[in-house]
A and B are shown apart, each in its own frame.
Chain A
Amino acid sequence: KQEVTQIPAALSVPEGENLVLNCSFTDSAIYNLQWFRQDPGKGLTSLLLIQSSQREQTSGRLNASLDKSSGRSTLYIAASQPGDSATYLCAVNDGNKLVFGAGTILRVKS
């Protein structure tokens, strides 16, 4: 059974800092991995999708990497801003469905 773990569970950083969020999964037979952002009381916004054949994807200040063989992905946020404060979820697609981690709660202090 696929299990997804996210570390750390919560993170508080000063504005401007670069940071890394970690995601690990137990079964490397995945089709893709998606990173989402969730604001309090809101739905999920897709940030990046990395296909199983890709190593990384970039969007603005966000960079996500994927190492399928070791079952790991990282989300790198450059020059963090208070507006980046949210919960970040990673999910792996192991067929028709996504398996989610519990998320990392990020707070960027101004």
Chain B
Amino acid sequence: NAGVTQTPKFRILKIGQSMTLQCAQDMNHNYMYWYRQDPGMGLKLIYYSVGAGITDKGEVPNGYNVSRSTTEDFPLRLELAAPSQTSVYFCASSYPKTGVPSYNEQFFGPGTRLTVL
């Protein structure tokens, strides 16, 4: 299994440009997540999905959009890039066990480092 994969690894955008960060997992996980990590900080949740066709906002959703048309893929869209979106973006997935909500281990991709100039 490749686990959670993310593309691209690095990207530089100009202010106002748009892009999509790709995330895929091959573990048949139903839950997927997008986080951002600013320097010296922990991760903050942007959006998450509990299954195909279902998405919900996290702590910092402004400026981002997501879709979940398949179990495997969970792309993150930036429509009008701003310098405040300079960050490292991590995608994660998990497979909560039915009836055991306390067991929900998340597995992370390698991240995408985005700079907006």
Residues of A participating in the B interface, judged by any CB pair closer than 8 Å: 4, 31-32, 34, 36, 41-46, 49, 51-53, 89, 91, 93, 96-103
Contact = CB atoms under 8 A, between A and B. Distances in A.
A67 B109 CA distance: 30
Interface stretch (B12-20, B71-79, B99-107): B99-107
Contact of A53 (B31, B41, B44, B102): B102
A31 B31 CA distance: 16
B44 A32 contact: no
Contacts of A97: 33, 45, 48, 58
Interface in B64-117: 90, 92, 101-111, 113
Contacts of A89: 42-43
Given A32-B103, A43-B111, A103 B31 contact: no
A101 B102 contact: no
Given A43-B110, A102-B41, A96 B105 contact: no
B50 interface: yes
